[in-house]
Structure 1
Amino acid sequence: MSTFGTEMRALMAEQSLSLRKLARDVHYTDGYLSRISRDVRIPSADVAQAVDAALKAGGRLIALAQAAQDSADQAGSVEGEEHPTREDDDEMHRRRLLQALATLGAASSPAADALQQIRGGVDRAIGRDEGSHLEEWEETVAEYGYSYLLLPPHRLLRDLAADLVIVQQAASRHAGGRLYPAWCRVTSGLSMLMAKSLCNAGQSRLAREWWSTAQHAALTSGDIDLSLWVTGERLVHGLYEQRPTAILLRRADEALAHSTGAPGRGMAQVRTVRAQLFALQGDVTAAAAELRASETVLQRLPGSVTRDVRSVAGWAEDRIRYTEAWVHAHTGDRDRLDAAVERARQVLPADDPRVRAQLSLLRAAGHVRAGDATEGVRHAHTVYEAQPADHRTAMVTSLARQVMDAVPEAGRSEPVVAAYGELLAAGAPRSIT
């Protein structure tokens, strides 16, 4: 009588198909497929369906897998029967991850897979375990911090996705172990960068779960400042997505209430967001108080953080000056706005592709609110039109739209304003598809 395994091997022989090639087609390991081809394990319905489709079996393998499962169910827990195990779950999860990467165009090549397996074997032979890779992964997170500020978001998404697959597998192998918190810290950093990149690509809904993953991983790692930093970054993007100010302020208050009060980039980030939120509410006094609190935190941060203006992981003077510009742009103090913008530009790298544009758009919006609508809109038009399409991120576009929103209704029909509106309509952030 034919079994799933014998039929599978026969079809593979007819098609001169190796286990390794089949494994690449169905996204299961060749070792796992070897076991089901020898009837050592009964394949699940999903596995049977995938193999049946790859071998063009016309449903025969699906039927044989179901028959084998029915027979095992009737016999009960007899010798030789194997129930789904953690290994089965891992294989299913691995397959789904690889399919997701393939959708993003980030699936690794057979040659890369082979090299990875060889490298793993060499590491084991010389006694190098995964713990020794942690420092390299922490450096990888740091490198992404620099890339985030320079590269368009869609360029980062695929690499982040591929790295998150590897880190997820490493973290799962160390669950409950001594190194687990460190792996969670790496997971949090990569997940936060994924969330930020998705937000910048205009995919805030997709980013929500990544924010939650980053926050959970940070809390699991025990790194309080990392948790506060994730919260602060999420609040920043919520600000540009125009989420309700009251809700964002409540979340900021809750984050501060659960913090230790120690100075850190997370504390500084939440403080500056509060200043921006108070400015949106028109509370100039509270916004100024938060700016002063942010300055105090900045002065207490280590130089390794405050000097790193080229990384999203750094927290240098430009962050304070940017927040000052935001506050003055929304409170109508044009002179202080211009001074804050100039001070921020002096700190920022000359090759910064986005923050300089954001500062110019903040200045334009502030000038419109101060009554100079024509010049403000004209300046915003020049800045946004010159911005490369790949760097017209959701944050840049949000600020560009704030300029238009600040124009009084009576001035919306002016030719310069109408032309700017047309430019905005054609300048949405790039999709990840």
Structure 2
Amino acid sequence: MRQALARRDIGAVFHLAHREAGISFNKLAEATGIRAERVSQLTKGDGAVTSLPVLERISDGLRIPGADLGLAVRLWEAPEPPDRQEQDGDDPMKRRDVLRGALAAGLAGPGLAALTTTRHDIDTALAAGHGDVEFWESTAERYGYGYNGRPPATVLTDIVEDFTELNTLLSQPQTAKGRSALCYVTGQMAGMAAIVLHDLGQHREAHRWFGTAARAAEQSGDALLHAWVLGREAMVPLNYGAPEAAAQLAERARHIAGDRPSAPAALATAVAARANAVAGHRAKALDAVAAAETLTGRLGALQQADTWFGYPMQKHHVHMSQALTWLGETDRAYATQQEALKLTRTPSLMTRALIAIDTASCRARDGEHAEAVRVALEAYSDLPTSYRTGLTRSRVEALCQALPASAPGLDALSDVLAQAA
């Protein structure tokens, strides 16, 4: 244990505390203020703790003497009265005299210990937050793969809980590079929380979280992240009845992303196509459809990653499906819907339902009202209750409003919507 403490190998410390002393991960988490999940990851050698405030929190929470971690004497272990502690600790001349005396005794024993402590403090300051930033980057990447079969509310709960610890890190002093990296991760995490809120139908709260994500993205200095946030935000007014506002946001995102092919640029252009189509601006919508096709065809493999941050071909076909449906280009819409389903062996529940609802909308535009109701009813009824809110519900409601009141089966579809309310 002393060797692990001397190396500041907190993963090994947690591992020994868990294995030898039988302290649970939850107890370690409670004592140190680190999430139980991360405690478990650290014990497996995944990541490291280099932040000085976190090391101090671990020292205090587990009652590890400060010297064992190369820290100053902790208040709870100092025998002197508090007033003398403060006087000695805050007096630079006193600290200088102590160091001079230790070094005068030779570069062994106290002298070497004093040098080692000073060097550790410098190394810690230089690397402050580095391990934490790497952890949060991997956390954001993990969330970026989407729902993976989990209900949106569950994913949202996990993201928001993680923000508690991330917020603590943001409030601590950082290097300029570290601060930029933390702002980037914050923008990603806030953006993903907003995406889930949008899917759950909480569009007002989604706007607020997108606002936070945009501020973080601006502070990170990364234009593509900023464009991604605005492109995703544009889908909120688009899906909840304000296509003109959506088009403005999407165009702003396109401007920030620039002309070079990128996932944010392709996303913003596709959303602009959808928004203009819904708003009735046919020429603008067709131009944006063509531009989105061109951009998507020039994306590299990394930009086409099947994550919330990438722009895979399946996602592209889903966007084009709705744009072409609203434009009345039903033949092209049917083709892109089939392509979307082919590109993934197991499309997500949300994706499969939205494609089916687009197919139903195409049927309605072609005058096949009974078939439109049948397809929509089957797709919506097959969804788990937790998925019958927000985006899927709003799409089905829009279809019901577009169909004539005499459409066969419309009452049944309306009843299912009422039951899910």
**TM-score normalised by length of structure 1:** 0.68
Alpha-carbon displacement from aligned partner over 1:356-400 (angstroms, at most 9, x marks no partner): 110000110111122111110111101100111122241111221
Instruction: Name 2:395's counterpart in structure 1.
Output: 399
Instruction: Name 1:381's counterpart in structure 2.
Output: 377
Does the residue aligned with 1:315 lie in a helix, a strand or coil? Answer: coil
Deviation at 1:137, TM superposition (A): 1.0
Are the aligned partners of 1:354 and 1:391 in contact in 2 as well (CA < 8 Å)? yes
Q: Aligned partners of 2:300, 2:171: CA distance in 1, in Å?
A: 33
Are the aligned partners of 1:198 and 1:206 in contact in 2 as well (CA < 8 Å)? yes
Instruction: Name 1:334's counterpart in structure 2.
Output: 330
Alpha-carbon displacement from aligned partner over 1:300-355 (angstroms, at most 9, x marks no partner): 3221221x22x212211112211221122212233222111101111134152210
Instruction: Name 2:297's counterpart in structure 1.
Output: 299
Instruction: Name 1:73's counterpart in structure 2.
Output: none
Q: Aligned partners of 1:181, 1:377: CA distance in 2, in Å?
A: 50
Does the residue aligned with 2:176 lie in a helix, a strand or coil? Answer: coil
Are the aligned partners of 2:318 and 2:336 in contact in 1 as well (CA < 8 Å)? yes
Q: Aligned partners of 2:315, 2:174: CA distance in 1, in Å?
A: 37
Structure 1 stretch displaced more, 114-123 or 361-370 = 114-123
Instruction: Name 1:15's counterpart in structure 2.
Output: none
Q: Aligned partners of 2:256, 2:199: CA distance in 1, in Å?
A: 28
Which amino acid counterpart does residue 341 of structure 2 have in structure 1?
Answer: R
Instruction: Name 2:352's counterpart in structure 1.
Output: 356
Q: Aligned partners of 1:388, 1:290: CA distance in 2, in Å?
A: 34
Which amino acid counterpart does residue 388 of structure 1 have in structure 2?
Answer: P
Instruction: Name 1:283's counterpart in structure 2.
Output: 281
Which amino acid counterpart does residue 264 of structure 2 have in structure 1?
Answer: G
**Greater RCO structure (CA 8 Å; 6+ sep):** 1
Instruction: Name 2:136's counterpart in structure 1.
Output: 137
- Alignment of 1:368 onto 2:400: no
Instruction: Name 1:99's counterpart in structure 2.
Output: none
Are the aligned partners of 1:333 and 1:370 in contact in 2 as well (CA < 8 Å)? no
Does the residue aligned with 2:420 lie in a helix, a strand or coil? Answer: coil
Which amino acid counterpart does residue 305 of structure 1 have in structure 2?
Answer: Q
Query: How do 1:97-112 residues align onto structure 2 when only pairs under 5 Å count?
Result: 111-112=28-29
Deviation at 1:273, TM superposition (A): 0.5
| Cα distance, 1:133–1:175 mapped onto 2, change above 3 Å | closer
Which amino acid counterpart does residue 426 of structure 1 have in structure 2?
Answer: Q
Which amino acid counterpart does residue 334 of structure 1 have in structure 2?
Answer: T
- Alignment of 1:168 onto 2:167: yes
Are the aligned partners of 1:192 and 1:230 in contact in 2 as well (CA < 8 Å)? yes
Q: Aligned partners of 1:349, 1:291: CA distance in 2, in Å?
A: 26
Are the aligned partners of 1:148 and 1:312 in contact in 2 as well (CA < 8 Å)? no
Instruction: Name 2:321's counterpart in structure 1.
Output: 325
How many pairs align? Answer: 315
**TM-score normalised by length of structure 2:** 0.69
Query: How do 1:71-220 residues align onto structure 2 when only pairs under 5 Å count?
Result: 111-116=28-33, 120-121=54-55, 129-148=128-147, 150-174=149-173, 177-220=176-219
Deviation at 1:109, TM superposition (A): 6.0
Instruction: Name 1:426's counterpart in structure 2.
Output: 419
Structure 1 alignment gaps of length 5 or more:
1-107, 429-433
Q: Aligned partners of 1:165, 1:394: CA distance in 2, in Å?
A: 26
Are the aligned partners of 2:224 and 2:256 in contact in 1 as well (CA < 8 Å)? no
Q: Aligned partners of 1:161, 1:349: CA distance in 2, in Å?
A: 31
Q: Aligned partners of 2:204, 2:341: CA distance in 1, in Å?
A: 32
Does the residue aligned with 2:367 lie in a helix, a strand or coil? Answer: coil
Which amino acid counterpart does residue 288 of structure 2 have in structure 1?
Answer: E
Identical residues among aligned pairs (%): 25
Which amino acid counterpart does residue 212 of structure 1 have in structure 2?
Answer: G
Which amino acid counterpart does residue 378 of structure 2 have in structure 1?
Answer: T
Which amino acid counterpart does residue 419 of structure 1 have in structure 2?
Answer: A
Structure 1 stretch displaced more, 378-387 or 249-258 = 249-258
Q: Aligned partners of 2:290, 2:388: CA distance in 1, in Å?
A: 31
Q: Aligned partners of 1:314, 1:254: CA distance in 2, in Å?
A: 19
Which amino acid counterpart does residue 384 of structure 1 have in structure 2?
Answer: Y
Are the aligned partners of 2:227 and 2:265 in contact in 1 as well (CA < 8 Å)? yes
Instruction: Name 1:52's counterpart in structure 2.
Output: none
- Aligned-pair Cα RMSD in Å: 2.4
Instruction: Name 2:404's counterpart in structure 1.
Output: 408
| Cα distance, 1:304–1:258 mapped onto 2, change above 3 Å | closer
Deviation at 1:113, TM superposition (A): 1.9
